[in-house]
Every structure is written in structure tokens, then in C-alpha cells.
Amino acid sequence: MRSRIIHALVMTSLLASACTPQTLPFPPAEPTAQQTPSLPPTTGSGPTSSSSATPTTLPQPPPVASGPLASATIETLDALFGSISANLDRDALRDLASANDVRVAWLLADLLRFLLPGSANQDAVDSFESLTGAQIGQAPVPWVAASNLLITWDIPAPPDYVRWKGQLFSTIDERWGPFFVESASIDYRLLSWGGVRPDDRPLGDFEAPCRGGCIPALDDPGVTDAAGGDWYPDERLVFGVALNGQARAYPKNIMEVHEMVIDTVGGIRIGLPYCTLCGSAQAYDLKSVPAGIEPPVLRTSGLLVRSNKLMFDLNTWSAIDTFTGVAVSGSLHDAGVELTQLSVVVSTWSDWKAAYPQTTIVAEDGGIGRTYELDPLGGRDADGPIFPIGAVDVRLPVQAKVLGVETTDGSYVAFPTTDLREQMAAGEPILFGDIEVVAEAGGFRAFQNDIEIVSHEAFWFAWSQFHPETRLWQHGLEG
């Protein structure tokens, strides 16, 4: 009952002033040595586009304090975050402007994520600007502007940050509570809300309610042979997995709706998350866990880390880094779980079934009687990142597609896919030291000393921010 009351307060008056109610802006669920950094591009047009987030010329960051927060600041923060389940303590919000500690700006940015335009939102913007000396009030989305600025400046989080941020997120949805623990290896500064709630539906129960609006995983989808896949246009993209002599194609339109599939291919139990925001489909061996640990049931949390979805294990509510497969909180983190990654080939349906005539493909209705549009997102991600990512590696455009590989010595190399296709069309081999990239069903696979190494495609901003030390192949030259 208490959680229902808090939820009702949050939905109707969270972060409210006596004069102007401020409600949570829950949108519909979405089908949902480093190079010199720069800010995200200025071409985006979405309502939360990073393009409008941060000025092209950054002001110098203010001095950063060290050590504990002032006792008065701690009291103010306790009052502010203790009030979020009812009426926001506007006096506390305004008092933060004089905290004289830029680290506190992170908590103001977190609040701005959930504040609709109005007087309380303006109070948060004013306090943020007083602490940082940066002007964000004219940005179409002040939260994105604030977050991008703090990430780019690399402002440290204040002491006890996890407690206050966890209090905010747990009030909005108590299911996020387990992700906010001091023992986690999560950089909580980079953690934000992606617009949907956790998918906590049991494995295989596609009729279970998706509480609050989640991105629903597709468990053990129905499949057909290649001929049965005639419903899917030949030129449309699939994510192909081939294991132990069995091949399966996952149509992009279905993956854009579910963003997570649990399946068995070639006798291997796999989890296949697709981060639409990162342009990255990856596959993990779910049984690659220490003895005595149950294979995880992967789900989408509704949270993001620099525009990359954060997945979690439904069994333990341990958060797992979608891009690396490393458990970052909970009992799986304590056990040192790192899921083994498997290669995913991005191909057209025509090319994939020509290369693998015996392939299966997810059925038109997913095996659950659902209808899928061919383009559910409608080009949503075409203009650049729509969530905060901070500074970007300027060696490539942020949305350039790359084939990312991890070598046997644990280093990383990125191959721009446009360059790969151009050089392959010219009949030239793709070599980078002892790494070779070869054409595969209209996509690519990578080999090192004639042994396949794991690869997958992603947007450059995502690959480079998770592997900042990556080397870059460009027509055979390291960038």
C-alpha cells in the first residue's frame, strides 16, 4: 500500500511547489592516450537530442572541492531528497545555489531529468548555473545540457552520491533500488533514466503485465525456415548468429521492439541484447558463469549509461554492462561474472539466407501473436545520440558504424564499415597486424592468426566510449 501511495504522489505531485505542480514527464515506452574530445554534433533534432545540450565552446570548469561536503550542504540535500515523495522542498533546492561545491551539481542534473518545465525546474536550473557558472537555461533540454557538461568536465560525484540518487530513483520505481549500492562498480554519474521501467516479467511469460511500461524481452521466439521468412523484405537488416552448425536470423524490426531475446542456437543458450541507441546487437553465452550460479535471465532495466542500455539478471537483480557482459552490481558482481561474448553479423536477409540456406528466422509474429511494423522507430536515432554522452572521440563521426573486435591480448580495434566495404569492393584484403576482417553474408567476421575473434557492429561513439583505448583501422592505417 505504501508503494502505491508514493507512486500516486510521484505521478501527481513529485517535485511540486505550492504554486506550480511538477509531475514526472513519463513518455510512452520506446519500442524503445585518447584523442582530443569534442562535444556531440549539432545536427540532432529530437526533443532530447545532445545537439541542443551543450554549448560548442565550453566554459572553464570551476574549482572542484575535495573531502566531505559541508554539514549545511548535507542537511540541505537530506531535506531536498527526503521531500521527493510528496512536495519538493523548494527552499532546499534554492539553497543549493550557495553550496559552493560544484560536485553537488550532479544531483541537480539528476533532478532535472524528472522535472517538467515550471518554477521548480527553473529553481534547479538557477542553482545549477550558480554552482557551475555555465548557462543551460536556454537549452531545449536543460537536463541533457547539464549532464553533458558535467561528463565532459569530468566533475567528481559528491560523497554519498549513491544514497541520494538511489533515493530519487527508488521513489520513482522501487525496483531500481537494488542497482544503487556502494559495492557496485557503476559510475553513477553516467547513469540516467531512458524513459521506461524495468522488465520484470517471468521467463517465457509474454502475457505477464509490463508494469509501468517496459521494453519486453522475447523469450524463446517462434522461428521458421528461410522459406517461411518470406514475410521479411530481402533488403531489410537481420542480426545473424551461427553456432555449432546452426544459424538464426533476428529481424531488426522485431529487435527494435524487444531489444532483448533469450534463445538457444546450436545448443548454446544465448542472450541477445540490442541497444538501439548504440546501434549494437551483441550475443552472450548465458551459461558462461561460475559453477553453482544459475544462468542469468537478461532483462532491460530502463536505465542507461552514456546512452547504452543497462541490462540486469532477473534471478538476482544484478546489473550487467550490456556492452561488455560484466556484472556491475549484486551477487553476480560479487562473484566476478563476465559473460562470454559471441559474434553477431549484421546482414541483409537476402545475404544471410544465401550464405546460410538452412537458417531459421524469427517468425513474423515472434511466436507470440504480435504484429510488428517494419520501421518501429521511424529513424529516431539517425541524427545522433539523444541522451547524454559527454565528450566524443573526434576520429570518426559519432554515428559512424564500426566493426569492433577484441583481440586475444585484450586490446581493441575498430574498423569503419564503410571503409571495409570500399576496400573489399576493390579486392583488397583487410589486414591490421595479425587481424584480418573478411566478408560474411553481407557483413563481417574477424580473425586473428586464422582463429575467429569476437566482433559486433556499433556506433563509433558507443564503441569508443566503452573502449577509449581502441585503435582505429582506416584503410590499413591506425588512427
What ranges do the domains of the chain cover? Answer: 2-190, 218-362, 395-478
Confirm if 179 and 305 have CB atoms less than 8 A apart. Answer: no
Show Cβ contacts of residue 422 under 8 Å, excluding neighbours closer than 6 positions.
none
- Read off the DSSP letter of residue 356: -
Say what the pTM is.
Answer: 0.88
Percent of the chain with pLDDT over 70: 87
Predicted local confidence at residue 50, as pLDDT: 39
Confirm if 359 and 349 have CB atoms less than 8 A apart. Answer: no
Distance, in Å, from the CA atom of 314 to the CA atom of 392, rounded to the nearest integer, reads 33
Structure-block grid coordinates of residue 170: 527508488
Residue type, 227: A
433 CA to centre of own chain: 31
3-state helix, strand, coil in the chain (%, to 5): 25, 25, 50
Q: In what order do the strands lie in the sheet containing 246-251?
A: 223-225, 360-362, 246-251, 237-243, 345-348
Predicted local confidence at residue 402, as pLDDT: 98
Structure-block grid coordinates of residue 177: 533500488
Q: Mind giving me the DSSP string for 208-227?
A: S--TTSB---EES--EEETG
Mean pLDDT of 51-74: 78
Instruction: Evaluate if residue 479 carries a pLDDT over 80.
Output: no
Residue type, 449: N
Instruction: Evaluate if residue 217 carries a pLDDT over 50.
Output: yes
Mean pLDDT of 300-313: 97
Show Cβ contacts of residue 451 under 8 Å, excluding neighbours closer than 6 positions.
408
Q: What are the tens digits of pLDDT across the range 91-139?
A: 999 999 999 999 999 999 999 999 999 999 999 999 999 999 999 999 9
Predicted local confidence at residue 140, as pLDDT: 87
Spell out a b/e string for 25-60, using b for 16 or more CB atoms within 10 Å of the CB, else e.
ebeebbbbeeeeeebbbeebebebbbbbbbeeeeee
Q: Exposed/middle/buried for 372, CB within 10 Å: 0-12, 13-18, 19+?
A: buried
Q: What are the tens digits of pLDDT across the range 151-179?
A: 999 999 999 999 999 999 999 999 999 99
Instruction: Evaluate if residue 49 carries a pLDDT over 50.
Output: no
E runs forming strands in 58-200? 191-193
Predicted local confidence at residue 14, as pLDDT: 38
Predicted local confidence at residue 143, as pLDDT: 95
